[in-house]
Structures are given as C-alpha cells and as structure tokens.
C-alpha cells in the first residue's frame, strides 16, 4: 500500500534535517576553523586559505550552505509566525524551550545576515574587505572587528543564540525522528544536549577571545 505524505510533513522534515546536516555539521566545522586562531594568525590564515582553495568552493558554498540556510531560515520564520505561544498559561520548561527556539531563530536570521555580509562579502561599511578575499589578512580583519565593543557584543549574543538553537535543535531532532523514545531517554538526551551546548559555547567564545588575547583564555596553559 502506498503511503501519501502531506506537503507540510515533507517540508517540515526537510527543515528539521537541514538544521542538522548540512547546517549543524557546518557550524562544527566553522568553530573548528575559528579555533585555529588559538595557535596564532599564521595558522588561522592558512586554514582560511585552504578552505578558499577547495575546488568548486563557490558551488559547494551555494549548494551545501547558502541554499539549505535560506530554506531553513525562511521556513523557520514561517513556522515562527504561525506559532501561538501560551507560556504564561503553561510555564513548563519544554514550552519555554519551544519559545526560545523561535526567538533564537529570529536572532540568528539577522545575525547570520550581518555576519555573512560582513566577513564573507566585506559589505558592512566599516570593513570594506572580505576575509574570504584576503586570507593573508584574515586574522587581522577579524581581530580589528572584535576590538569594537558593539561588534563584540553582537557576536557574543549571536554565538550564544546559535549554540542554544543548535543544542536544543539536536534534542528536538532526536525526539522527533524517534531516536530518543520514552521519558527517561528524552530526559537523559536532554542533559547530554545541555552539556554539549555548554562545551560548544566555551569552544566558540574561546575562539573569539583568541583573536584578541593570544591563545584565548587557555593561552599560556595549553600553548
Ligand atoms: C537563520 C535563521 C534560522 C531560523 C529563522 C531558524 C528557525 C528555526 C525554527 C523556528 C525551528 C523550530 C522548528 C520546530 O520546532 O518545528 C528550528 C529548528 C532547528 N534549527 Fe533552525 N533556524 C535558523 C538557523 C539555524 C542554523 C544556522 C542551524 C544550525 C546551526 C539551525 C539548526 C536547527 C535545528 C537542528 C533545529 C531542530 C530541528 C527539529 O525540530 O527537529 N537553525 N529552526
């Protein structure tokens, strides 16, 4: 017997899947590359140059990052507009997480737009130069940006919102795709996602600090 899947169901599943692969996977790769700043400008610039020298990089970026990102972002905003929060009547943690997933999605929309226009395309007026187009200056460009307090604040908020959205999204995905079944499994998976989120946030913020203080917070201990 053929099973007919509704259009909304397929769009919803694609939205969930795109949050994990490719977007979540890309996020991990991105934090890994950023963490190269811990061992100095040379290592970070080399990592940026290597990424930019990948054959067909523009097509890979468009197909594996920009298109899934635009799909996930636009459909995510549609889901958010349709949401009817009822947190004051039902103040359960899961209900707050539902609301925060949508709020962080909206923050991410503006943050990623700003971030991509700024570092990838150099289109934010104060910068005028793109990291991707000048890998040999990549570290200095980022370091100059992070020394501006308003920009640093935007990045701390944006990175925190991204990590929350991804860690909670991972949990939502595991529950929705039948990977964490049953109350106990969902509770334990929830703790694991919180631990993962805290660790990922520490790595991401430490990479950011490494552009201003050599080695990041762990400079002098690890290096
Ligand atoms: C750019 C703006 C973004 C918006 C507006 C947005 C919006 C949303 C919304 C509303 C949900 C909840 C869907 C639901 O509960 O059914 C969601 C889920 C999710 N998002 Fe995003 N998102 C964005 C970016 C990202 C990025 C960059 C990542 C990856 C790091 C990501 C990863 C996820 C994951 C893993 C889920 C959970 C999927 C699931 O429910 O199974 N999102 N997003």
Q: What are the structure tokens assigned to 106, written together?
A: 């909206």
pLDDT at 4: 84
- Ligand 1 neighbourhood includes 158 CB (under 6 angstroms): no
Q: What is the pLDDT of residue 69?
A: 98
Residue 43 Cβ contacting ligand 1 at under 6 Å: no
What is the model's pLDDT at position 127? 66
Interatomic CA distance for residues 192 and 171, integer angstroms: 9
Which is the closest atom of ligand 1 to the Cα of 106?
5
Asked if residue 32 belongs to a domain, the reply is yes
- CB of 60 sitting under 6 A from ligand 1: no
The answer to whether residue 151 is domain-embedded is yes
Tokens 């080399």 sit on residue: 46
- Is residue 205 within 8 A of residue 156, CB to CB? The reply is yes
Residue-number span of the structural domain to which 33 is assigned: 7-215
With respect to residue 75, please indicate whether it lies within any of the assigned structural domains.
yes
Q: DSSP secondary-structure letter at 5?
A: P
Q: Is the residue at 2 inside a domain? A: no
Domain total for the chain?
A: 1
What token pair was written down for 17? Answer: 């899947």
pTM of the model: 0.94
Closest by Cα among 22, 69, 27 to 203: 27
Whose Cα sits closest to atom 43 in ligand 1?
A: 76
Distance 51 CA to ligand 1 centre (A): 25
Ligand 1 in reach of 22 Cβ (< 6 A): no
CA distances from 123 to 33, 114, 208 (A): 22, 9, 21
Task: Report which protein residue has its CA nearest ligand 1's atom 32.
Answer: 19
- CATH assignment of the domain containing 172: 1.20.1300.10
Q: Is residue 222 part of a domain?
A: no
CA of 172 to the centre of ligand 1 (A): 10
Distance, C-alpha 5 to centroid of its chain: 30
pLDDT averaged over 10-residue windows placed end to end, the chain, 223 residues: 86 98 98 97 97 96 98 98 92 95 98 95 79 92 95 98 98 98 98 98 98 86 65
pLDDT for 42 equals 97
Residue 24 lies in a domain: yes
CB burial of 156-180 (b: ≥16 within 10 Å; e: otherwise) equals eebbbbbbbbbbbbbbbbbbeeeeb
For residue 178, give both structure tokens: 């039948």
Q: DSSP alpha helices (H): ranges in the chain?
A: 7-18, 25-35, 41-52, 57-60, 67-82, 93-115, 138-146, 149-176, 183-210
Nearest CA to 168 out of 86, 74, 95, 67 is that of 95
Check pocket membership of 14 for ligand 1, CB cut-off 6 A.
no
Does residue 163 lie within any of the structural domains? yes
């Amino acid at each position: 017997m053929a099973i007919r899947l509704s259009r909304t169901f397929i769009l919803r599943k694609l939205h969930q899947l795109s949050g994990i692969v490719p977007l979540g996977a890309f996020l991990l790769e991105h934090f890994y590359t950023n963490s190269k700043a811990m061992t100095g400008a040379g290592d970070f610039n080399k990592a940026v140059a290597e990424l930019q020298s990948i054959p067909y990089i523009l097509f890979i970026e468009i197909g594996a990052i920009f298109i899934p990102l635009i799909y996930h972002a636009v459909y995510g905003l549609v889901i958010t507009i349709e949401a009817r929060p009822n947190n004051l009547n039902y103040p359960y943690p899961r209900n707050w997480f539902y609301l925060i997933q949508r709020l962080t999605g909206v923050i991410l929309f503006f943050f990623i737009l700003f971030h991509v226009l700024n570092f990838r395309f150099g289109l934010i007026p104060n910068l005028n130069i793109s990291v991707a187009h000048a890998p040999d200056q990549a570290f200095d460009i980022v370091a100059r940006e992070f020394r501006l307090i308003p920009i640093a604040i935007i990045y701390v908020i944006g990175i925190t919102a991204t990590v929350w959205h991804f860690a909670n999204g991972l949990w939502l995905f595991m529950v929705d795709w039948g990977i964490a079944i049953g109350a106990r499994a969902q509770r334990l998976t929830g703790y694991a996602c919180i631990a993962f989120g805290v660790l990922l946030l520490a790595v991401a913020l430490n990479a950011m600090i490494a552009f201003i203080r050599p080695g990041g917070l762990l400079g002098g201990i690890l290096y």
